Each structure stands twice: as structure tokens, then as C-alpha cells.
Amino acid sequence: MLKTHDPTHLLILLVGGSMLLLYGVKLVTEAMERVCGARLRLVMMALGNRPLAAFGTGIAVTMLTQSSTATASVMIGLVNTQLIPLTAAIVMLLGAAVGSTLVVQLLAFHFTDYALELLGLAATVAVITRRTKLQEVGRGVFSFGLVLVGLAMIDASSTPIADSAITNAIMQTLAQSPLVLLLLGVLLAAVFVSSIVAIGIVIVLTAGGALPLTAALVVTLGANIGTTLTPLLSALNQGNLAGCRLGLIYTGTRLAGVAVVMSLLKPLATLLTHFLPNPAAQVAIAHLGFNLLLAMLFLPFAGQLADLATRLLPSQSDRRSEPYII
């Protein structure tokens, strides 16, 4: 991967890597949609009343598409057409959030060091499967190779930035303002429409020593909030009541989780440092652990969350059925 310290080249590499990652995710999603989109919807509908199976389905679908946003969009459509209940969609969305954290582990544990080799292997699969029934699968594999190269480009461009004295000074100053760091994480995930890019940058900056662990955890928490905004805004724009309810729960559960974890940052950082000496792994595992913890906490209460969202956002028929109280 290209190594450079020229600021212009670094910026091009960072933006290009981010766009390549997002484009790869888009291609993976489209390929998987063409191959098994209808089957995935049928699986979601069939397993909707089995909480653990629905949770696993959310993880699996997001691992295939590499986008929890895409998974959320599918679920919004299914809930809106009443093909699956809101409770099942909540469970699947909790699983989707966990599934979206797994690709970040590739960067933390240096799988991207072999990104070009893996891209070459993926291209071979794409060529071999061309004009066969597995053509879309080959395209999906190649698209995932683009995701890895995009992550590697982000790594290559962010490392010199992390080593910069200016970056260190800025990050050390920001570390004293948790709210600013939280908003920064929200902004990064919202702008890139992906928590993968935002947390990938955080991992590299933390590994280079530019960002203290506690500050990195705050930005990561912000990215977990930011990634929920796209489905919510999309549902609001479409006037989709079911989607609004699901988006409200998606954002609300993360806000509740962030509020709790923010009060435990120092003990959490100490615990991570004790068990994981690698700073990149600390952030990646914290990101995974946060989403697993939210799933464990809210999975048993999916029905109550659905009822709460229905009361907060009632339909016109619900309003008419309410008794008139003087």
C-alpha cells in the first residue's frame, strides 16, 4: 500500500479509501440482494417469531451485506407491509448492529495488511464465476475485496496523520471535551453513512498514539449513534410510521447505552488495557462489546419496546380509539 507524508496525497488517500469502502459495501449489498434478496426476506418472515433465530438472522444478513443500514431498510419495508411484527424487527436490528461491528475487527487485527492479495483472489473468483449461476456471488466476493482495500487505504493515510505533532496536540485537546468527541463520532458516521469508516479512522489514530483510549471510546460511542440516523431520517422523509417506530427504538436504545457507558469510561478503559495490550484491538472489542451488551439488555424487552414506540407514535386509528377523558 502507498506510503506518503505529503498532505495532499494523504487527503486523497483517506477520501479515496473511504469512498472505495462505501462503494464496495454498496456493491456487496446489491450483489447479495440480487442473489438471495427474496430468500432473505422469506427467512426474516419465517423466523420472526423465534427471538434467538431472528437475532442470528440479523447478524448473518448484515455480515452478507456489510451494512446495518441496508438491513434496517429491508426490515422497515417488511414491518411497514406487516410481513413481520415490530417486535421481530427490533430483535433483528439488534443482531444487525452486532453484525456490523465484525468487519472492523479485520482492521484491528491487521487482516488489511493482505488487502491487495485478497483483492486479487477475489478478482479471480469473480472472473471464474463470470457468466455462470454464481456470477453475482463472484461479484459480491470481489466487492468485499474492495472493502478491504478501502480499509487498508484508510489505515495507510491515517497512520502519518496519527504520527503528526499537530494531530497529537489537537486530539489531546479534544480529549478534554467528551461532548465534542461524542458529536464528532456522530458527525463522522452520519457524513460517511457508515460507522465502519468512522471507527476505522478512530482505530488507526488510537494505534498511532494520537488519540487516548478514553477519547477513542467516546468517538466510537458517537459513531454508534450516528449510524442510526440514516434509517430514522429516511423513514421520516417517507412518512413511514412503522419505520419511524423502528428508527426511534434503534436510536433510543443506543442513546441509553451511550449514557450508561459514558459514566463508566475510566473503569472500562482500565479493564481493556489490562486484558488487551493492542490499542486497535481495545477499540474494536469495545465496539463489539457495546453492541453485544445492548443486545443482551434489550432483547428480552423487545415486546415492551415495541409497545412503547407504538404509544409514542400512535397511528390515526389508535388516536381515534382512545377514550375521551374530561
94 pLDDT exceeds 60? yes
What are φ and ψ of residue 212, in 5° steps?
-60, 155
Angle at CA of residue 158, ends 156 and 161, nearest 5°: 125
* Confidence tier at 40 by pLDDT (50, 70, 90): low
Residue 325 lies in a domain: no
Residue 322 belongs to a domain: no
The answer to whether position 326 is within a domain reads: no
Give 263: exposed, middle or buried? Use CB within 10 Å, 0-12, 13-18, 19+. exposed
- In one letter, which amino acid is 102? L
> 178-192 vs 241-262: helix axis angle to the nearest 10?
150
**Any domain includes 257:** yes
Q: How far apart are CA 171 and CA 185, in angstroms?
A: 13
**Is 92 part of a structural domain of the chain?**
yes
Residue 1 in any domain: the answer is no
* Alpha-carbon separation of residue 101 from 34, 108, 306 (angstroms): 24, 11, 24
pTM for this entry: 0.80
Amino acid found at 167: T
How many domains does the chain fold into?
A: 1
The overall average pLDDT reported for the chain is 80
> What is the domain range of residue 297?
7-314
Out of 69-78, 107-116, 317-326, which region has the weakest mean confidence (pLDDT)?
317-326
Single out the residue of 48, 120, 143, 30 nearest to residue 91, CA to CA: 48
The candidate with the shortest Cα–Cα distance to 89, out of 47, 60, 26, is 47
Answer whether residue 319 is part of any domain: no
Quick check: is 324 in a domain? no
pLDDT, tens digit (0-9, with 9 covering 90-100), for 222-278: 999 988 887 777 777 766 787 788 888 988 999 999 999 999 998 999 999 988 888
